[in-house]
Chain A
Amino acid sequence: MQLTRRSLLTRSAVLGCSLAASPLLTPVTFAAAPWDTRLVVIILRGGMDALDVVQPYGDPQYAGLRQSLSGGPAAGAADLDGFYALHPGLAPLLPLWRAGELGFVQAVSTPYRDRRSHFDGQDLLEAGTAGLGQAEGGWLNRLLQQMPGVEARTAFAIGQERMLILEGSAPVSQWAPGAGLLMSPQAERLAGLLMEDDPLFHAALNEALELTRQDMALGGEDGGEGDSAEAGEDMMASMMTAPKGKAHSEVAAYAAQQLRGDSRIAAFSINGWDTHFRQAGALKGALGRLAETILALQSGLGPEIWGKTAVAAVTEFGRTARENGTGGTDHGTGGAMLLAGGAVRGGRVLGRWPGLAEADLYDRRDLMPTADVRGQLAWLLHGLTGAGKSGLETDVFPGLAMGRDPGLLL
């Protein structure tokens, strides 16, 4: 028997009835969302090379540092402003740049210095603190803790990856598209009973069942055949494996779907930025995924919601100014952040440029950070959600001085 979305839907109607009667779930009604703008945070894991993405071809030192990785308009990059050029891998986003819906902040970093470990670097980026272990969970979660009217569905962590950025005491949702759980009503009740006295399992089960119900209710346009007990089991079997295809586009489409509804924040990862070796090929692939992701968000959100959306893509650190001996770059310090969306004031590369002369580099090897990326993010949160500056400086990003408004938003 061929299984289709329709047979799933038929099945989910039955499931829906049983859920209403299930003692596991309190009926959830969502209050009007606490604010109206949308924020997407993308963690670029691996350390994106700022100097190859937003190429400072106007800097006299640049060409000497990047011999095989030479950029600039002469090498096919699009000129942005006479000083910076955009890596060809992001060329699909040039229409956004021209529309003022794409921008960059160059030479930013977290307070992380010297050890240059991905794992600590990412933890610090997501924790939003000055040092490791200085606060619980992630900065997006601590933002939610400050806002009134937050529901689990207000913020979504999407994909298979752990997202520390959204961990913490405020309720959030986490889901990977196509990860549904289909069981008979009896099995569902018994699974609830088995897990009842184990809070970690019980909470995860309840959320999985609730998200499955929503997933089913949201999707399903194609017609198909009927339903049987056997069909449910086969469906579970066919769903044992991960969904195929372009995972990043699916994640973006799912994020857009949630953000069209009651969700206001989505966070997910794009991996593949650790380009120690043959960066020319590896970076092109990663940038292609980033571009597709942003375009999938734009089309999934539609013009109205895209108009009040800001996408911020951030990475744990930049890479060495000088290319290494293997056609790549090693872990560095100063990096770049990307901003997109109808709510951002784009068409500009912001950030104070520190220069690339050896004395201007951090540790004589890395791009010198001239601003704390947390300051940029704090102003973004302030502008999008109305979160107060004092809360942002003391709780969301403890110890941060936000300084002057960089004017990232319209």
Chain B
Amino acid sequence: MSLERRMLTRELKLNVARPGEIFKPMWFLILVVSMLPLALAPDSDLLSEIGSAMIWVATLLALLLNTEHLFQSDFSDGVLEQWLFLNRPLAWLVGLKLIAHWLFHVLPLILITPIAGIMLSVPTDVLWALLVTLVIATPALTCFSGLGAALTLGSSRSGILGVLVMMPLFVPIVILAAGVLIRAMDGSDTLPLLALLGAFSVVAATVVPIAVSAAIRLNIGGSN
């Protein structure tokens, strides 16, 4: 069995063994979305206007919190340092781990956003735009938050530092996604912005794993 398949099989089995890790972010997303009408007003016009942006931010937070400890358990078990002996570039293995994370953790999160959309009476065509932006933008978000996770690996009292450090870098992605949603709301062309978002994700997915692998190597070198 090739190393790539072994790696993905392992991730699949780990996620089957720890289903809570998949459900917690979804639970978080729905909870946050339920808080909004309670804090604001049950007025459906108002909710549908800010609903899609709210769901976007809530998904972003759920993804960040979920990715914060991406490498932590492998690191403390000493499995992560074994990756260096696996005859593949570390950045490639990191990329595989990020892909697996996106498939098993981020995709389920995206798939329940329509429920959140219904709760906030988001119009159907905006809901579609929301789904598409999330699918296109989350690879970049996953890569960056993976970097946050890797940078804070060696620090025992980092808390949510990785999230805090990476959040400012999400600004362009959030702005572009919001642009798509606004255009979807007034029915104008969203394609150019989606292409730009996609380009961002592609660049992030090729470059960021290299930075992540440098951060992991750094933390392996600093631990005893």
A and B assemble together: no
Name B residues whose Cβ lies closer than 8 Å to a Cβ of A. Answer: none
